[in-house]
Protein backbone atom coordinates (compact mmCIF):
# COMPACT_ATOMS: atom_id res chain seq x y z
CA UNK A 1 0.00 0.00 0.00
CA UNK A 2 2.93 2.35 0.64
CA UNK A 3 4.08 1.85 -2.94
CA UNK A 4 0.57 2.56 -4.26
CA UNK A 5 0.35 5.71 -2.15
CA UNK A 6 3.70 6.93 -3.46
CA UNK A 7 2.53 6.56 -7.04
CA UNK A 8 -0.68 8.44 -6.33
CA UNK A 9 1.13 11.26 -4.56
CA UNK A 10 3.69 11.54 -7.33
CA UNK A 11 1.17 11.61 -10.19
CA UNK A 12 -1.48 13.72 -8.48
CA UNK A 13 -1.08 15.68 -5.29
CA UNK A 14 2.64 16.47 -5.37
CA UNK A 15 2.43 17.24 -9.08
CA UNK A 16 -0.29 19.80 -8.52
CA UNK A 17 1.43 21.28 -5.48
CA UNK A 18 4.57 21.84 -7.50
CA UNK A 19 2.58 23.50 -10.24
CA UNK A 20 0.89 25.81 -7.74
CA UNK A 21 4.17 26.77 -6.12
CA UNK A 22 5.31 28.33 -9.38
CA UNK A 23 2.48 30.84 -9.37
CA UNK A 24 4.51 33.04 -7.06
CA UNK A 25 2.17 33.38 -4.10
CA UNK A 26 3.25 35.24 -1.02
CA UNK A 27 2.57 33.81 2.39
CA UNK A 28 -0.52 35.34 3.94
CA UNK A 29 -1.22 35.94 7.60
CA UNK A 30 -3.33 33.18 9.07
CA UNK A 31 -5.48 33.80 12.09
CA UNK A 32 -4.05 31.92 15.04
CA UNK A 33 -7.26 30.21 16.01
CA UNK A 34 -7.22 27.45 18.58
CA UNK A 35 -10.09 25.09 17.70
CA UNK A 36 -11.01 22.65 20.44
CA UNK A 37 -13.07 20.24 18.34
CA UNK A 38 -10.95 19.82 15.21
CA UNK A 39 -10.61 16.03 15.65
CA UNK A 40 -12.75 13.81 13.43
CA UNK A 41 -13.11 12.90 9.76
CA UNK A 42 -12.61 15.34 6.89
CA UNK A 43 -13.32 14.97 3.18
CA UNK A 44 -12.39 16.84 0.03
CA UNK A 45 -11.66 16.47 -3.68
CA UNK A 46 -8.09 17.29 -4.68
CA UNK A 47 -7.10 18.11 -8.29
CA UNK A 48 -5.60 15.30 -10.33
CA UNK A 49 -3.32 15.46 -13.36
CA UNK A 50 -4.88 12.49 -15.15
CA UNK A 51 -8.36 12.00 -13.63
CA UNK A 52 -11.42 14.09 -12.60
CA UNK A 53 -10.17 14.32 -9.02
CA UNK A 54 -8.80 12.49 -5.98
CA UNK A 55 -11.31 11.95 -3.19
CA UNK A 56 -9.52 12.42 0.13
CA UNK A 57 -10.71 11.22 3.53
CA UNK A 58 -8.66 12.18 6.57
CA UNK A 59 -9.43 11.03 10.11
CA UNK A 60 -7.66 12.73 13.04
CA UNK A 61 -7.70 10.73 16.27
CA UNK A 62 -7.44 11.75 19.88
CA UNK A 63 -4.18 9.77 20.35
CA UNK A 64 -2.37 11.99 17.81
CA UNK A 65 -2.63 9.34 15.07
CA UNK A 66 -4.26 9.79 11.68
CA UNK A 67 -5.40 7.66 8.78
CA UNK A 68 -5.81 9.09 5.28
CA UNK A 69 -7.32 7.45 2.21
CA UNK A 70 -7.19 8.49 -1.45
CA UNK A 71 -9.51 7.35 -4.23
CA UNK A 72 -8.99 8.17 -7.89
CA UNK A 73 -12.31 9.04 -9.51
CA UNK A 74 -13.31 7.25 -12.73
CA UNK A 75 -10.38 4.87 -12.39
CA UNK A 76 -12.07 1.51 -11.81
CA UNK A 77 -11.16 1.83 -8.16
CA UNK A 78 -7.57 2.91 -7.57
CA UNK A 79 -7.15 3.79 -3.91
CA UNK A 80 -4.50 3.95 -1.21
CA UNK A 81 -4.30 4.36 2.53
CA UNK A 82 -1.57 5.78 4.75
CA UNK A 83 -1.22 6.16 8.50
CA UNK A 84 0.98 8.17 10.79
CA UNK A 85 0.87 10.74 13.55
CA UNK A 86 -0.06 14.39 13.62
CA UNK A 87 1.51 17.34 15.40
CA UNK A 88 -0.09 20.69 16.06
CA UNK A 89 1.24 24.15 16.81
CA UNK A 90 -1.50 26.75 17.17
CA UNK A 91 -3.43 26.57 13.89
CA UNK A 92 -0.78 24.58 12.01
CA UNK A 93 -1.33 20.82 11.63
CA UNK A 94 1.51 18.58 10.39
CA UNK A 95 0.95 14.99 9.24
CA UNK A 96 4.01 12.76 9.63
CA UNK A 97 4.19 9.54 7.62
CA UNK A 98 6.80 6.85 8.45
CA UNK A 99 9.36 5.61 7.70
CA UNK A 100 10.87 8.83 6.34
CA UNK A 101 8.45 11.13 8.17
CA UNK A 102 7.08 12.63 4.96
CA UNK A 103 5.25 15.81 5.96
CA UNK A 104 1.99 17.39 4.83
CA UNK A 105 0.86 20.69 6.32
CA UNK A 106 -2.69 21.93 6.91
CA UNK A 107 -4.08 25.14 8.33
CA UNK A 108 -6.78 24.44 10.92
CA UNK A 109 -9.03 27.23 9.73
CA UNK A 110 -12.02 26.34 11.92
CA UNK A 111 -13.30 23.44 14.02
CA UNK A 112 -14.62 21.90 10.80
CA UNK A 113 -12.29 23.11 8.02
CA UNK A 114 -8.72 22.22 7.06
CA UNK A 115 -6.80 24.00 4.30
CA UNK A 116 -3.89 22.17 2.70
CA UNK A 117 -0.66 24.19 2.44
CA UNK A 118 2.32 23.99 0.13
CA UNK A 119 5.54 22.38 1.28
CA UNK A 120 6.83 25.81 2.36
CA UNK A 121 3.64 26.17 4.46
CA UNK A 122 2.30 28.92 2.23
CA UNK A 123 -1.31 28.93 1.11
CA UNK A 124 -2.13 27.80 -2.41
CA UNK A 125 -3.43 30.67 -4.52
CA UNK A 126 -5.17 30.86 -7.87
CA UNK A 127 -8.03 28.86 -9.39
CA UNK A 128 -6.96 25.61 -7.69
CA UNK A 129 -7.03 27.01 -4.15
CA UNK A 130 -10.66 26.06 -3.48
CA UNK A 131 -9.89 22.40 -4.22
CA UNK A 132 -7.46 22.07 -1.30
CA UNK A 133 -10.04 22.46 1.45
CA UNK A 134 -11.22 19.54 3.58
CA UNK A 135 -14.56 19.81 5.40
CA UNK A 136 -15.53 17.79 8.45
CA UNK A 137 -18.13 15.08 7.81
CA UNK A 138 -19.97 12.47 9.83
CA UNK A 139 -18.52 8.99 9.14
CA UNK A 140 -20.85 6.33 7.80
CA UNK A 141 -22.21 4.20 10.65
CA UNK A 142 -20.76 0.67 10.44
CA UNK A 143 -24.25 -0.85 10.70
CA UNK A 144 -25.17 0.90 7.43
CA UNK A 145 -22.91 -1.51 5.54
CA UNK A 146 -24.53 -4.67 6.89
CA UNK A 147 -26.96 -6.47 4.60
CA UNK A 148 -27.37 -8.44 1.40
CA UNK A 149 -26.38 -7.00 -1.97
CA UNK A 150 -26.86 -8.28 -5.51
CA UNK A 151 -24.86 -7.66 -8.70
CA UNK A 152 -26.69 -8.61 -11.87
CA UNK A 153 -30.19 -9.95 -12.37
CA UNK A 154 -31.47 -12.52 -9.91
CA UNK A 155 -31.89 -15.93 -11.50
CA UNK A 156 -29.41 -15.13 -14.27
CA UNK A 157 -26.02 -15.76 -12.74
CA UNK A 158 -26.05 -12.85 -10.29
CA UNK A 159 -23.43 -12.43 -7.57
CA UNK A 160 -24.49 -12.03 -3.96
CA UNK A 161 -22.55 -9.98 -1.42
CA UNK A 162 -23.24 -10.38 2.30
CA UNK A 163 -21.71 -7.88 4.73
CA UNK A 164 -22.04 -8.60 8.44
CA UNK A 165 -20.82 -6.15 11.06
CA UNK A 166 -19.00 -7.89 13.91
CA UNK A 167 -17.58 -5.20 16.21
CA UNK A 168 -14.98 -2.41 16.41
CA UNK A 169 -15.10 -1.79 12.67
CA UNK A 170 -14.63 -5.45 11.72
CA UNK A 171 -16.81 -7.16 9.11
CA UNK A 172 -17.46 -10.60 7.75
CA UNK A 173 -17.48 -10.48 3.92
CA UNK A 174 -18.95 -13.23 1.73
CA UNK A 175 -19.49 -13.24 -2.04
CA UNK A 176 -21.02 -16.08 -4.04
CA UNK A 177 -22.57 -16.59 -7.45
CA UNK A 178 -25.82 -18.35 -8.17
CA UNK A 179 -26.59 -20.89 -10.82
CA UNK A 180 -25.44 -24.44 -11.42
CA UNK A 181 -21.72 -23.73 -11.66
CA UNK A 182 -21.46 -21.19 -8.81
CA UNK A 183 -18.08 -20.01 -10.04
CA UNK A 184 -17.53 -17.27 -7.42
CA UNK A 185 -16.92 -18.18 -3.79
CA UNK A 186 -15.27 -15.84 -1.30
CA UNK A 187 -15.24 -15.55 2.49
CA UNK A 188 -13.01 -13.18 4.41
CA UNK A 189 -12.72 -10.46 7.04
CA UNK A 190 -12.56 -6.72 6.46
CA UNK A 191 -11.91 -3.57 8.46
CA UNK A 192 -13.80 -0.27 8.13
CA UNK A 193 -11.27 2.43 7.27
CA UNK A 194 -12.48 5.95 6.47
CA UNK A 195 -15.87 4.89 5.10
CA UNK A 196 -14.60 1.89 3.14
CA UNK A 197 -14.13 -1.74 4.08
CA UNK A 198 -10.65 -3.02 3.28
CA UNK A 199 -10.22 -6.79 2.92
CA UNK A 200 -6.57 -8.04 2.79
CA UNK A 201 -6.68 -10.98 0.38
CA UNK A 202 -3.44 -12.43 1.75
CA UNK A 203 -5.39 -13.46 4.84
CA UNK A 204 -7.61 -15.60 2.62
CA UNK A 205 -4.89 -16.90 0.31
CA UNK A 206 -1.20 -16.40 1.14
CA UNK A 207 -0.30 -16.22 -2.56
CA UNK A 208 -2.27 -12.99 -3.08
CA UNK A 209 -1.06 -9.49 -2.24
CA UNK A 210 -4.07 -7.38 -3.24
CA UNK A 211 -6.66 -5.65 -1.09
CA UNK A 212 -10.37 -5.67 -1.89
CA UNK A 213 -12.17 -2.40 -1.17
CA UNK A 214 -15.90 -1.99 -0.57
CA UNK A 215 -17.55 1.44 -0.59
CA UNK A 216 -21.18 2.54 -0.28
CA UNK A 217 -22.68 4.84 -2.90
CA UNK A 218 -26.34 5.58 -3.62
CA UNK A 219 -27.65 2.38 -2.07
CA UNK A 220 -25.00 0.25 -3.72
CA UNK A 221 -21.79 -1.39 -2.59
CA UNK A 222 -18.88 -0.86 -4.97
CA UNK A 223 -16.40 -3.73 -4.86
CA UNK A 224 -13.00 -3.24 -6.49
CA UNK A 225 -9.29 -3.97 -6.14
CA UNK A 226 -7.63 -1.13 -4.25
CA UNK A 227 -4.57 -1.50 -6.50
CA UNK A 228 -5.38 -1.54 -10.22
CA UNK A 229 -2.47 -3.94 -10.72
CA UNK A 230 -4.13 -6.53 -8.49
CA UNK A 231 -7.42 -6.78 -10.38
CA UNK A 232 -6.67 -10.40 -11.24
CA UNK A 233 -6.78 -11.27 -7.52
CA UNK A 234 -10.55 -10.74 -7.61
CA UNK A 235 -10.78 -13.09 -10.59
CA UNK A 236 -8.95 -15.81 -8.65
CA UNK A 237 -12.01 -16.47 -6.48
CA UNK A 238 -14.23 -16.99 -9.56
CA UNK A 239 -12.20 -19.77 -11.19
CA UNK A 240 -10.64 -17.25 -13.55
CA UNK A 241 -13.97 -16.72 -15.34
CA UNK A 242 -15.42 -13.63 -13.68
CA UNK A 243 -14.47 -11.09 -11.03
CA UNK A 244 -15.74 -10.27 -7.57
CA UNK A 245 -15.60 -6.60 -8.62
CA UNK A 246 -18.81 -4.80 -9.49
CA UNK A 247 -21.74 -2.71 -8.26
CA UNK A 248 -23.96 -4.57 -5.82
CA UNK A 249 -27.43 -3.21 -5.12
CA UNK A 250 -28.71 -3.52 -1.58
CA UNK A 251 -31.69 -5.88 -1.27
Q: What is the DSSP string of 133-196?
A: EEEEEPPPPGGGT-EEEEES-TTTT-EEEEEEEEETTEEEEEEEE-SSS---EEEEEEEEETTE
Residue 5's pLDDT is 41
pLDDT exceeds cutoff 50 at 21: no
Residue 96's pLDDT is 94
pLDDT exceeds cutoff 90 at 29: no
Same domain, 133 and 146: no
Residue 224's pLDDT is 92
Same domain, 100 and 22: yes
pLDDT in tens, 75-88: 666 788 889 999 99
Residue 160's pLDDT is 94
* Cα–Cα distance, 240 to 251 (Å, whole number): 27
pLDDT exceeds cutoff 90 at 74: no
Domain assignment of residue 228, given as a range: 142-250
For residue 70, the surrounding DSSP H or E stretch is strand 65-72
Residue 23's pLDDT is 35
Same domain, 23 and 111: yes
Number of domains in the chain: 2
Q: Considering the chain, what is the average pLDDT of its residues? A: 83
For residue 93, the surrounding DSSP H or E stretch is strand 92-97
Average pLDDT over residues 218-240: 89
Same domain, 8 and 126: yes
Percentage of the chain modeled with pLDDT above 70: 82
Same domain, 231 and 179: yes
φ, ψ at 167 (rounded to 5°)? 180, 160
Residue 227's pLDDT is 83
Same domain, 125 and 157: no
Listed residues 89, 119, 137: the one ending a domain: 137
More confident residue, 127 or 181: 127
More confident residue, 50 or 200: 200
Average pLDDT over residues 127-143: 92
Listed residues 74, 109, 137: the one ending a domain: 137
Listed residues 121, 137, 153: the one ending a domain: 137
Q: Cβ contacts of residue 30 below 8 Å, gap of 6+?
A: 91, 107, 109, 123
In 3D space, the residue among 129, 126, 127, 102 whose CA is nearest the CA of residue 117 turns out to be: 129
Amino acid sequence: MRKIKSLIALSGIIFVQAACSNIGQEQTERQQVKPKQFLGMYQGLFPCADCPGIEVNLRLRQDSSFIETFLYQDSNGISATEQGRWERKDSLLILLVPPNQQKTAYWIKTDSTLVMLQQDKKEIRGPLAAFYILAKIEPIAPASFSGNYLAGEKGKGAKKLVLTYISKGNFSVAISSEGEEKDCNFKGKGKLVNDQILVPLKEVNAALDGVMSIRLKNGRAEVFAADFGHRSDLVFFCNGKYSLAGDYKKQ
